[in-house]
Each structure stands twice: as structure tokens, then as C-alpha cells.
Structure 1
Amino acid sequence: MADRVPSGPEGVPFLGSSLQYADDPLRFMERVADEYGDVARIDVYNQEVYQVIDPGAIRRVLVTNATNYKKPSLGGDEGLGGLLGDGLLTSNGEHWQRQRKVMQPSFYGDKLNEYADIIVGDSVELADSWHDGKHIDIHREMSELTLRIVVESLLGARIDGMERTIRKALLEVGERFRPGPQGFVPEEVPTPRNVRYRRSVEILDRILREIGRQHDVHGTEDDLLGTLLGERAEGRLDEESIRNEMMTMLLAGHDTTALTLTYAWYLLSKHPEAERKFHQELDSVVEGSPTVADLGELDYLEKVVMETMRLYPPAYVIYRQAVETDELAGYHIPAETVVSTPQWVVHRDERFFDDPEAFRPERWTPESRRELPEFAYFPFGGGPRKCIGDGFAMREAKLVLATLGSKFAFELVSDTPLSLVPFVTIHPENPVEMTVCAR
């Protein structure tokens, strides 16, 4: 076992590097990687964190030695646990294993094909509400669309008229997880942020109860919520656990895809040649509304999605905590050490990607994919805890892009660069205003 200890920024007494991290987490992680290499030691909010960007070491954490790395109890994660309880995103151990097994069938095989009609139908409905020259906030539109899709497909309900209320509540909830010392203030302390957070959670809980009532009328036994209700009927799941899984789906089930769609439209609008190829392919393949069968022929569309998630991975860092001592890339990892594996940094590493800051969908050739080290690209994580909805999210993103892109192009209203805010996922700080252009 190696005894080397990684170096890292010194920071200041008591605070370590907390202020630098809170000021700009993404740039801070990049600077640490540039200055200290594949494994670096960071003191953030009185917590020692080892940042790991070596793909082989990341694979060890997430796959080959995954049983030694659990979800950690960081300040932000404790808050997330308060919101999601023992839901799939936050739980560990036997409960997580059992829930994953129960929920897995809702995200694979024929179920994905069943969701396609909902995805395309809701996308067409949105397109029909637009007209040439309309100004929209594309992030808001994509968020509300993916909310409708996830609730209708997985939870067997419609949320017509509730989208903006849900989105506003989710944004208020997300503010609690914005990096900074405020995330470590206990939820019970009545700061303005905590008051808004608790109020928003209450709103979301009321909406979840309404979704449950709608499912009794419109849902089925084999959608995700129907499966969970069946587990309750058999005495294997209680009401609180169902609530936690519904909240997890509401939050995680729509947000990452909405962000991928937002950044894809943004990047295409900034790169006219890529946008031309994107539309040209759609025009040659799609007749009317896209189908699942069309996706196999939309090669450039898939490259656009992959390149978008490389540059703007919605989940920008994964945290794990070592149960026992380990070795990563030649460095000693003590038990209880928190390890971070930041997609944001690895996806922009010039060792793995030529001109890494550039948007180049063409880079994703079959040859380049074969040559790329495993875990040099991991937008959905990896190993046993790889995102359960990765297939759903990829199919949803491609079908939405194909449906809307067949009808419209989008022009940015302003050339102001994106300002990003890392919550649990990376959000645009301001509205992404675009003009709808009929094709």
C-alpha cells in the first residue's frame, strides 16, 4: 500500500480553501488539477477532500472497488438527504440495493419505447405554442417540458398549469445547495434562504400528493409510481419512502435533461456550421414527428448530445467516501476520506480531448470513442450507482431535439457569455433568452 500523501492548496487557518471554492467551484477545481495533478488534497469547509482526475483511479472508486466507497455525509448531501430522505439518489446499503432493483425495470427495454410517444407528444404540444419571432427563456421552456415528461411517463399524471409553480419551488430548493458556508447552516435556523427552502418543500409535497391522486385515476400498475405503490401494498415500502422516490424523480428526473437541452440549443446557436449539419440530418431522416426508429439514423444528433454533456456535464462532480484505506494513482487514501471525481475537469482535460474548450461534435467518431480511456468521459457516473435513468435521459434529449429542431432554429438574443452556478447540477445564472425561428 502506497504511503504517498497528495499535495494541494494550503488555504488559510480554519477556512482552508473554502472561500476560493465558494467563489467559483468550477474554476477552483480546474486550478487545483492544473497545479497539483491527478490527485490533490483540499481542505473545504473543515472537510479534507481528495480530488481525483485520473480515469483509472476514478474507475477504481466507481467500479472495481465501489463497495469501499459510499455516498458521503457532506454538508450539502446532508441537506439533500433531508429533502430526498432515503431515496435512490441519497441512500446506501441494502435499502439502496433493493430500491434500485425494484425501480430498474421502469428505465430499460420496452419501457423506453413506451415513453417515446409521451416525449414526442409533449414536445409537439410545446412547439405548437410557439410562433416565428417569439422570445423565450429556453432553460425555462426545457425545464417545464421535461417536468411534464417525467411526471407523465414515470408517475402517471399530468401537471398542466403547475409547471411554473414546480419549477420555481425547485429553484428555491436548489439555492440551498449552492456552494458556500450557508449550506452548512442547519435547516432549522430561520435564515431567509432556509425559510424559502422549507416553504418550497411544502409546496412540492402538496404537488406530490396531487400527483398521487391523479395516478389513482390515470396511472397504471406498471409505471414507476404504480410499481412503488405495489410494493407498498405488499408491505415492503411505506408512504414516506414512496414520497422520497417521487421527490427524487421530480428533482433529478427532469433537471439534468433540461440542462442538457438548454446547453445544446445554446451551443448550436453559437456554432452555425454545427447547427447546419444538425438540421440537414434531421431534414434527411425525419418525416413529420421523429420516432424511435429514426434515432438509429441520427448520428450527428447523438454526437451533439455527447459533446454538449462533455462541455456542460449537468452533474459536474461525484463525491464518495472511503470506508477503508485504499490506494488511488499511487497515493494513500485514508479511511473516511472524501474523494471527489469532477466530470467538469476530466471532460476538459487536453490529455483526452484535442482543443477541449471547443464545441466539436465531429470528435465523437467510432475510433475516438474506442481510444478514449474509460472514465475520461462519464456524464452519468459509472459502476453500480451509475444514473438509473441514463437511457431514458439520452432518448429523451434526442427525441426532444429532433422534434423541436425539425420545426425551429433558435437565435440568442444576447452574445453575453453564459454565467454558470453549480448547485447540485450546473445551472445558468440568468435566463437564456432566445428567439424562435421557424424553419
Structure 2
Amino acid sequence: MNNTRTSSAREGSANRVAILGGNRIPFARSNREYARASNQDLFTATLDGLVARFGLQGEELGLMAGGAVIKHSRDFNLTRETVLGSALAPTTPALDVQQACGTSLAASVIVADAISAGRISGGVAGGTDTTSDAPLALNDDLRRTLLRFASARSMGKRLRLLGSLRPQQLEPEQPRNAEPRTGLSMGEHAAITAREMHISREAQDELALESHRKLAAAWDAGFFDDLTTGYLGVRRDTTLRADTSMEKLSSLKPVFGRQDAQAHGTEATMTAGNSTALTDGASVALLGNEDFASRHGLEPLAYLVDSETAAVDFVHGPDGLLMAPTYAVPRLIHRNNLRLQDFDFYEIHEAFASQVLATLAAWEDTEYCRERLGLDAALGPIDRSKLNVKGSSLAAGHPFAATGTRILATAAKNLAENCGGRTLISICAAGGQGITAILEL
């Protein structure tokens, strides 16, 4: 078990960790509006938007933590290079983090821990990803041949090495989203879980429809006006479909789980409409203690109270790839003397509609909670009207490393507008991991 305890808002610690604001660029479908932008371009534009909004130009912060899931080797120091390219003081330290889809929430916990411990007073967390600028790698045969070529001492040997090359060796390796241990994509894994948990196509489409409706309403109401900065002419998330309907969603053909469904005599249910699209984007969040907030004239939107990570054995064990949050949440809420129902809002990352529904179904299932989670009884249902009230990844898109701080900033502002309350955040991640957190105001 891996868990992280930040300072508790309820305990009145001197080093409570406040979420003071956030910024992101509107997310865009891959290979469209941001096709020529790099991860560093996206991340720097997003950070500079935050710096401008809060007047942090030239200021040295205690830390910036962030990262990307898909990045070039040149981006080995991505977050530090982003700081150096931004309006922050170049003396602001930075580090790279990578925990798949949970990257920027994990980065937020790192910054929060430093604030809680009193090592820093304020910092930034974030993440960026673009599959439009995904690195293309040399295949292993070509790479080895080129290495031998570089070390060859004679022209004759070099010519022989070049003559040994075959056309298929010149083809670059495309980035893959398959899990290395199973060879299955995240979508294929989610489809297996959807079948095992009896998640219907209709329920998935309904959740997707709600996500688009809620996100569209939030944009129309101006909710994201102080959480976003336009970039390259994009002012709203381009994956948002405000005019979608159950009829449109139900007309889409399944794209995941077709072989699994055929093997089990069932119907595949996961479509492009109830799954997240490949997306480019970046997001950041500003965190600080109360002294930092006071010095900058900022009111805390919410406090990061506690967090928990978990991992499951999806290769040899019974658990689905994206089910780790089902383990993390009971640990988190029990440590804080809470029930699953003791929250005013729930932010569950919508990697796939089926995964959100499978997670909720698991918590409602007595057998699952007893046998898998080691609990005495089921955690029970949540009030679905409190779920992802401003829309989430199905509508906004999912640039992998950027999702965590998008959710964090959205959830914090929502609590501030609600004049208080408590929010549970749950994010599933590749590699059988999950990261969760509690926010309070």
C-alpha cells in the first residue's frame, strides 16, 4: 500500500495546503489545432497563463512538479525547461513526475507534501500531453546497425553494414498504447471489466451524454473563464459536443471489446462516443499555505486534505486494469473517518464511461467489497447528481498527464462556488494504478 497524508483542513494545521487557482488551455482533439505544438509549448503557455492571472511574474516559487506521459527524449527535463521558458523566476526548482493518467494529481501531492512539511510556502503542479507530437522511434535492428556503424573503424565495414539494411528496418516504430505486460490497450482492458461488471451500453451512453451537457453548461455559465487561457485560437474544448444525443451516441459502432464479446457470446458496448478521444492539452494548479495566500491576496478555493494511491495485479490477479481506485478510496475515507456518502461532490475521471460505472458498481457490490477490498460490507451507492457536475473527460478530452490538475482546479473552484463542502477525487491510471484525494472547504 502506498499512501500520502497531507495536512488536514479539519485539524487546523498551520500548514494547511490550499488550492488557490488553476489554469489550462482548452483541450483539443489530437492532430488538429495543436498539431504543430510540442509538450513544452503547451505546458509553457499554460503556466504563463497562470502566472499572468495571479501576478507571479518574476517570482521564485518553492517548486514546480509536473510531467507528461508521452514525450521525446529531449524532454528529459520537461518541467524545468517549462519554468525556464515561462515568466516565473528561473530560480524556481522543478521536477518531472509520471504516473500515467494520474501524473498531475501525483505532482500536486508532491507539492502539497512540501507545503505541509513547511519546506516551501507555495508551488505549482501540472501536466501536459500531446499525441500529435508523439515520438517516433527507430526499430531495434536499425538502432543496433547504426550503433555498429558509428563504431566501425573502416569504410569497408561501414559500407557492409549499410548494405545489410533492409526496407522493413527503416520503418519507424509507432507509439503504442498497449500495456506491455498484456499487449492489450486500455480500452480493451476496460471492455473486459465492463463485461465482467455487466455494464450496459445504454448506461455508458447516458453517462457520456451527461458529461457533454454538464461541460457545455459550465462553459456557457462562464465557469471556466478564470480556469482557462485560449491558445492558438482555441477557446473551448474541441471534443465537446453540446448537441449530442442518445440517438447519436447509440448509432456509433463499438471500437473496443469486439473480440472479447465474441469470445463470450455478448455484445461489445464501448464506442468512440462513450470513450475519451486522443487529446492534446496541458493544465496547472497553484498551491500554497495560508501565509502564501495572504501575501498574494488570494482566497483559498479549497484545501487538499489527504490522498491515497493504490495498484492492482491486473496481469495475474483478478482485478481489471483500471480498478485500483476501488482499493484506494476505502483506505482514504476510512483513514479520515468518512463514509463514501459523506461527500458533497465526486470527481471520477471518465477515461471510459464503462470504467466510471464499473467503479461505482464495485463499491455497491457486497461480494466485491468483502472479497477484494477486505471490507465488512459494501461501501454503498453515491448520489449520482453529485458526480462530475461540471462535466469531465468524456466531454473535455483526456491529455493523459493534464487530467489530474484539470480535475483538481475544477473541483476546488466548484467547492468555492458552493461556499464549502467536501469532494472526493478518483483517477484510474495505466499500469493498474489509481490515485485519489479529498478536498474540503
Instruction: Output the TM-score relative to the length of structure 1.
Output: 0.25
TM-score w.r.t. the length of structure 2 is 0.25
Larger relative helix fraction: 1
Structure with the bigger percentage of strand:
2
